[in-house]
Structure 1
């Protein structure tokens, strides 16, 4: 066939997208680490400016002040969101950020064993294990309680731990008792590493820093970045000031020149391109600064009030769907509070219903048995602001039928 016209090509791409499940006609009740949020037009408009699109790494601060200031503002807003004292200029994604956080804990403590909650995203745990396998760092797993939270009491049975890592909200959508976890870590002289896949939750919840976390890391894709078939992501990373020199990646600092004028510069870039390899804290190369730019534009557009309102809307919508499913006779196995996703137990044979709904353009959650074989029949459902009440009511009707 001859070449497509632009109109024909657009139609062809729409057809391919529909086959892949990303057509705008689909109703998606699935998150599991990648959440669909509305992206304000201001994000793509500013993100596409040539000043931001064309520059490379700002090694020459005298000609890169705009880029450096944008990253500095990103660091500031991330630190405020997570309640931490310092944030870096971004990492690759939430999974590698968790692995880097645990490596950082090993460097700080000198111990070579870490404990990781089984309620952390399975992909994140696999990435961390891949990082650790060549270096001989031992990873032990903390089980979950019947309410969907991590059983932190099991921390006491392990010796010589460097850190304990939990995710909140965790993979099941349950909000962990971060204060209790951080206090137990302090009493055992351990570093607490708090991971997340949905940063919007901290627009409503008490942030990890206020609950005693030492290191906080996670995925920032919810802030102004499309799903993009799973990538690229945005690794957010923050810690207490006393651990700053062990933090991976790099920082943008604000300083005064000899004339007293303020300016922005790369500082504490302890990666292997800048210093001796054996002294480097990370081998991360070009970071996700353009993705970080999208996130800072998104956060600045919403502001603190907008972030809280959006987080509240996500929470309220998910609670509505949870309530309607309960009324329809379906069991919610975990009673811990959740944010915008939760687990539902469906009767045997729901797999066929799940396929039927997919044919109708409804993605009815993630089957947890694909990650946790013992959780057959349990599905992880997610609701964001992009899902309407009519969509939720239709889902319940279709499942009941």
Structure 2
């Protein structure tokens, strides 16, 4: 965002227009003890060149995924992004981070979002998908809220297995605003609005849905399936038995970005479409009978009365959804399946290699591209020691357990380097 400086006279005119004596009058409701006395403990102002040098020095302290062996996943995954993706998303027909409201001048973006919805619906086996959401965590929380709207007389949200801890934290935060709602772990009862099942779960184990579908049918609860690694749908069955499918699509076309922005997705059965959060792009025809795309559903507080809105999420990840769509278009169905196989094969190689180290055991019987290992030493200490050697070994869990991931970016040389380093520190 550009910096627009104001002159002394322009500031005075603005203060006069709002009836304020001076700038301090704008902060009259702020307690005096909250103000800093004197100057803030910050460096003096610098020119643009100096600022760039300072920020670059900070950035250069980062150890990014391409800088060496990298086996960290835990919800954000290192995948290849074709250069074509960046080229296309920067074209003027598409370059927007937002959903357009004037279809007559924005058919390019609307078409791309419609294609994104189509991809998500096909991958998840659901009838309909929305125009994306912030990330997997907020998508999960919104799915629970949707289930509570559908089952107005119910007050429980059941977490069926090992949900990503960040997703669980966001879910608890959302539900904390509803005094009558409780979140619990286990199996549903007749007061349960939904059951949330993640597959593969946080520890990398894929799950069948038959048990949970049966429990939901017996109690009337909705089945929500969370997909944290969307590439897994290239090998694992689509969760078409679910009522709602949501999660994170960062793995396709979107960089890790040191934590964001990422790409939440949300799909459901058609019968629940009017309770779905966010917005929906639909296909129609114009006055001349030509195919076109418009915002079909906007059940959010920005468009309708707040008490009637399904969600207060007031944007979608338009640019990220476009990147996903371009990458999926380049892959095609066959390419997506091959990508998934490459991920699984890399993870199998990694698991076999680390399992051959004395004292190291792989905990998973099944996995896609991520699994949990038990080490003979504290996992956090091992991760930090290997990081000093330029190797990002994984995500340290409690005690001696560590989560490790492999993707198509994992090479045999990187695995060999990791094994050598692990043998030295264990």
CA distance in structure 2 between the partners assigned to 1:194 and 1:68 by the alignment: 27
Partner in structure 2 of residue 88 of structure 1 = 130
Count residues with an aligned counterpart: 379
CA distance in structure 2 between the partners assigned to 1:56 and 1:346 by the alignment: 45
Bigger relative contact order (CA 8 A; separation at least 6) = 1
1:206 to 208, 233, 237: 237
1:18 Cα offset (Å)? 4.5
1:286 Cα offset (Å)? 2.1
2:194 to 143, 146, 163: 163
Partner in structure 2 of residue 141 of structure 1 = 184
8 Å CA contact 2:190, 2:220 repeated in 1: no
Q: Based on CA coordinates, which of the two structures has the bigger radius of gyration? A: 2
Question: Measured at CA, do residues 132 and 351 of structure 1 come closer, stay the same or move farther in structure 2, by a change above 3 Å?
Answer: closer
CA distance in structure 1 between the partners assigned to 2:333 and 2:53 by the alignment: 38
With structure 1 as the length reference, what TM-score do the two structures score? 0.89
Moved over 4 A (4+): 2-6, 8-12
Larger mean CA deviation between 269-278 and 256-265 belongs to 256-265
1:393 to 399, 411, 416: 416
Matches for 1:184-333 after TM superposition, within 5 Å: 184-209=215-240, 212-332=241-361
Partner in structure 1 of residue 212 of structure 2 = 181
1:119 to 159, 162, 166: 162
2:106 to 45, 64, 67: 64
Question: Measured at CA, do residues 117 and 336 of structure 1 come closer, stay the same or move farther in structure 2, by a change above 3 Å?
Answer: farther
1:184 Cα offset (Å)? 2.4
Structure 1 alignment gaps of length 5 or more: 143-153, 370-375
User: Could you give the per-residue CA deviations for residues 202-236 of structure 1, whole angstroms, max 9, x where no partner exists?
Assistant: 01110111xx1110000111111111110111110
SS at the partner of 1:34? Answer: coil
1:263 Cα offset (Å)? 1.2
Larger mean CA deviation between 215-224 and 47-56 belongs to 47-56
Structure 2 alignment gaps of length 5 or more: 1-45
Partner in structure 2 of residue 383 of structure 1 = 406
CA distance in structure 2 between the partners assigned to 1:22 and 1:55 by the alignment: 25
Question: Measured at CA, do residues 360 and 280 of structure 1 come closer, stay the same or move farther in structure 2, by a change above 3 Å?
Answer: same
SS at the partner of 2:176? Answer: helix
CA distance in structure 2 between the partners assigned to 1:328 and 1:295 by the alignment: 38
